[in-house]
Amino acid sequence: MLTRQTLLAFLLALPIGAGMTLALAGDPNQKNAPQKSEALKRTEVLSQELPKADYRKASLITIDLAPGAEAAKHRHDVAVVGYVLEGSVENQFDAQKLKVYKQGEAWYEPPGTVHIVARNASKTERARLLVFYIGEEGKAPTTAIK
């Protein structure tokens, strides 16, 4: 059985591995063949302990934001980990200050977080996110707020 920490570690490793080409295949006797230490590099992007809950569902989605696109104000009733695959995004959570996240950066939102601002920071380039929802079965990951 997976623990919350093991599940989160696995999910956070996915965006790192998704953009990486492993050079482990091929003839290990070749002079130019990379050593294992050269072929795989792990970089911790985010480490977050999850609050106590009955986490039974994990979803992984991508979100594409056209230049200047913005999401409506919303709330997440599940834990959320966001990772910027391309471009940059502006986020404001609850009463925190507006912050820009660039390609390769990540953030965590605990369950119940209100996403006041979620928009592409560029008026000319698209942005792409990888988002992990980690929550209890039956809870909607996103709820619009009017």
Here the CATH number for the domain that contains residue 71 is: 2.60.120.10
Q: What is the pLDDT of residues 124-136, one digit of tens each?
A: 999 999 999 999 8
Q: What is the pLDDT of residue 32?
A: 52
Specify the DSSP class assigned to residue 30: S
Q: Pick the residue with more confidence: 19 or 137?
A: 137
Contact 128, 61 (CB under 8 A): no
Contact 8, 81 (CB under 8 A): yes
Instruction: Give residue for tokens 């994990």.
Output: 58
**pTM for this one?**
0.70
Confidence category of residue 137, pLDDT binned at 50, 70, 90: confident
Q: What is the pLDDT of residues 86-116, one digit of tens each?
A: 999 999 999 899 999 999 999 999 999 999 9
Query: Which of 40, 10, 12 shows the shortest CA–CA distance to 108?
Result: 12
As for how many domains the chain has, the answer is 1
65 lies in which domain range? 4-144
Taken as a whole, the chain contains a residue count of: 146
Strand order across the beta sheet in which 106-109 lies: 57-65, 127-135, 79-86, 106-109
